[in-house]
Structure 1
């Protein structure tokens, strides 16, 4: 199957406003960018740091050079799609940089994703080769690699090799990577990233923030999410250090996240608003991270209450930026530096376009909207991706023959303010119709945050009585008296009856997907469990030990069901990233016992937890 990269181009009929500030950005491929970055880096400086282990720039250069030479020698160079399957973050970084140096296309497969999802990705991307290592089981590698012609093990790569002098060079308009987004049919869509577009964003970030040489960047993004690219390439471009968390789940537990940020001495963090809330929830203080200077937040809407909580704990030591941009237009295309003026609005603006980016706010007929009017955002840039790979349907893309600029209809609703900044209103696909009213869920969330004591909330549509759809609001339970006294009738003055959620469900923390975004599927399961009520406790099984009974009650609370026994493992009866956090927090709060993630993953049962707590007493 081929790549569809063009579509009929209509004559321009929209007003493009507010071009971003132009900079003297170089036009180079990611292949040349990586090679030049290695030449400029100080060889003995630390390139990658994880706990007490570090890898120098000289060692990283050698490992990527050897792997790139092996790829080139196997005719897996320019344009070839190379999938990488590993649980080892360092191995993923080495593989990505080697693939770029070989001129090939990086296709990351996050080993934490369900196998069926990875198989669908494999069918769409049609990789020519699979790189893997011993961090994945032979069963995993054989299942994913069954349809891939060439399979390479990092353990079999020679210790030394030089890049062949005749390695084929790539151009800025060649493909560099594939990342996936959800498709409406259940089949993921593969976004083919443009080499020069990736370099443009990295150079923009480094230049705009005036990032210093040797910067330490925290690696908070999983490999299956495209901000992973900036986690790696920003420190690479400045000869800095990539700081990797000790465990994959470190960023999911607020206390562990704060401990790691503090000990890593990171200067810059990229993160989603949900991870940002975890950082705030862990109560990071300025004295804990004196050298933390930049936080770049992107991926979801950023609520002002989260920023207020951050300033209360951390002050103004670090500069906060809100970034916006779909994967289709390469990482991010709008930026807003957060200031005190933003603390008086429910949602932080997404700001203005970055360099070499233009936009229009359009109504349903494709005509420009007046300032202050909500419309769909269209982005115009020559640094967009190359479109959807192996797909005749190009969605919101519009490629014009003979014109380097790509127009992309984002499906996001925004409004343009008097000072030309944009404010995010919501997704087109987050509009619902209930009781005859068209409702924007983001609007309901903003109203709740502005008129109630709730600090964070997420509103979804879920089946209610008689399976009729209703609005359900999930909120972070902070245990405050103000929250306990909250009465939903306070919303009747600002929302119509159809817009007021019928149910408010407290959660200890919002569940996250592997990409660090809100896991709405988990929230819907919680809504379903909360609506069905809770079955009575099996007294015969739990009365024998008072501690066991208390722990059984905690498990039942966090899992929202009691269909398990005291010898059933937590992860086999519905445990996930969100309920793990709730369990850890409740056990520490009630018994003062610090439950490790390893204990949870190693077949933790109620009886085992009882023994652990008793032995620690």
Structure 2
């Protein structure tokens, strides 16, 4: 028999302690008590157990983020299966790729409450496997990551202590089910007797709906990506979320301008900046952003309990002569590794599980500030060579946001292979004249200034909310073709 899942045990204990309290408020505003939630979990568990799949078999859960999603996730774990949450609103090609890599024994359609057979020879994982998630794909092909439920519990316990989460605390679920941050949204309230407020898919495609949703529901806690929050704030049209007590940012560099803009629409919120690749489970570093924030890029702070960080030398940054240091993270609560046939040998060499601890050689660049906080300066591959000179594309993005008054920016190399250009795409009115921005960047960055800039109304995003860099390059190259 499979060992009890710690997440299931935790939520079961909460349901027993607070049976009549509200557990979930769905996208339609319908309320479900903890007793009602557990009834849904038992119903789904019975259906999944009746499939007769071997323990630890992967199953795909197709969902748009509806309020029924937590019950299906908990039921899969209760039945001894390993869920793979798949955003049903993703392009069909991406869904097909995820399903091919996951090799699920069953496909659960949450909206239809239907279960269909999976592949004839499904993937069976180790007993410690708690879920499978795919990396964002912001830097290339998404990789399948096998997570452990103990890592989810460890993070939720830390977060609930830090935020003072108590029964009745309202937490928003705005994250795409394809992104592992959805587990923060789902499990923080359900492991503490709080209320999970599911938005459904609408706010993800309509930024103007987010602030009204947070305000109407009286949400206390929200997890967000900085550039997405900037869109929400700009589209607020005078609506403010005065009940919001905590905003936890992750996924992208957080700058003081992001914090200032967000606090204009959430005036009472405290802000925390989190950092941790999906390979290490949700987050492994945290920084409480002061009010007002320090100018510029915000640190990601200090390590969560049990986490060790090591900075490894990677050579010299020719743009300023400084030393480049990569970031290695070690924790007992990281993932179990990549799916072997959904990652390269090089990827698997960077992510190891040894002696009950996960060691991940990230591709991020970092350093410690004077207070001992970790600062993530960019990625190793954000240092690009242009006509014999290194350019830090992360620094270009930071300068565009800080000095250009922009919501978001993405800097990349694009154009002909024999003479690629450093290009910055900025989120603003499409067709906006960018000559003034280039002049500012040349003044601030000198030899590191980009060759070109162009404006788009919306930067293309991945399901995680991060900017899709590949799509930005394609946008620029299509403009070159059009002349």
TM-score (norm 1): 0.69
- Give distance in 2, aligned partners of 1:44 and 1:312: 32
SS of equivalent to 1:239? coil
Cα distance change, pair 198–454 in 1 and its aligned pair in 2 (3 A)? closer
Quote the offset at 1:485 in angstroms. Answer: 7.9
SS of equivalent to 2:67? helix
Quote the offset at 1:57 in angstroms. Answer: 1.9
Partner of 2:468: 519
CA-to-aligned-CA distance 1:337-393 (integer Å, 9 cap, x gap)? 11136331x21111111111111111138xxxxxx9641111111001101123483
SS of equivalent to 1:36? helix
Cα distance change, pair 415–374 in 1 and its aligned pair in 2 (3 A)? farther
Partner of 1:280: 233
Quote the offset at 1:478 in angstroms. Answer: 6.5
- Equivalent of 2:356 in 404, 408, 411: 404
Alignment of 1:555-570 (within 5 A): none
Alignment of 1:280-319 (within 5 A): 280-283=233-236, 288-315=240-267, 317-319=268-270
SS of equivalent to 1:288? coil
Cα distance change, pair 313–299 in 1 and its aligned pair in 2 (3 A)? same
SS of equivalent to 2:259? helix
Quote the offset at 1:88 in angstroms. Answer: 6.1
Quote the offset at 1:452 in angstroms. Answer: 4.2
Instruction: Compute the RMSD of aligned alpha carbons.
Output: 3.2
Cα distance change, pair 185–378 in 1 and its aligned pair in 2 (3 A)? closer
- Give distance in 2, aligned partners of 1:208 and 1:187: 34
Quote the offset at 1:517 in angstroms. Answer: 1.6
SS of equivalent to 1:262? helix
- Equivalent of 1:105 in 82, 88, 93: 82
Partner of 2:12: 35
Q: Is the 8 A contact 2:5 2:77 kept in 1?
A: no
Q: Is the 8 A contact 1:30 1:176 kept in 2?
A: no
SS of equivalent to 1:363? strand
Quote the offset at 1:461 in angstroms. Answer: 1.6
Q: How many residues align?
A: 467
Q: Is the 8 A contact 1:253 1:278 kept in 2?
A: no
What residue ranges of structure 2 are gaps of 5+ in the alignment? 316-321
Q: Is the 8 A contact 1:112 1:514 kept in 2?
A: no
Quote the offset at 1:407 in angstroms. Answer: 1.7
CA-to-aligned-CA distance 1:421-460 (integer Å, 9 cap, x gap)? 0111111232322111232210122233444454532212
Whether 1:200 aligns to 2:154 is yes
Q: Is the 8 A contact 1:397 1:408 kept in 2?
A: yes
Partner of 2:336: 386
Partner of 1:539: none
Whether 1:251 aligns to 2:204 is yes
SS of equivalent to 2:190? helix
- Give distance in 1, aligned partners of 2:27 and 2:357: 41
Partner of 1:7: none
SS of equivalent to 1:340? coil
TM-score (norm 2): 0.87
Partner of 2:182: 228
Partner of 2:318: none
Quote the offset at 1:487 in angstroms. Answer: 5.1
SS of equivalent to 1:79? coil
Quote the offset at 1:240 in angstroms. Answer: 1.8
Cα distance change, pair 264–422 in 1 and its aligned pair in 2 (3 A)? same
Quote the offset at 1:228 in angstroms. Answer: 0.8
SS of equivalent to 1:118? helix
Cα distance change, pair 526–364 in 1 and its aligned pair in 2 (3 A)? closer
More strand, by proportion: 2
- Give distance in 2, aligned partners of 1:451 and 1:88: 36
CA-to-aligned-CA distance 1:495-540 (integer Å, 9 cap, x gap)? 344x222222122233322222212344334323433458xxxxxx
- Give distance in 2, aligned partners of 1:308 and 1:288: 14
- Give distance in 1, aligned partners of 2:469 and 2:418: 18
- Give distance in 1, aligned partners of 2:241 and 2:93: 41
Whether 1:132 aligns to 2:85 is no
Q: Is the 8 A contact 2:289 2:298 kept in 1?
A: yes
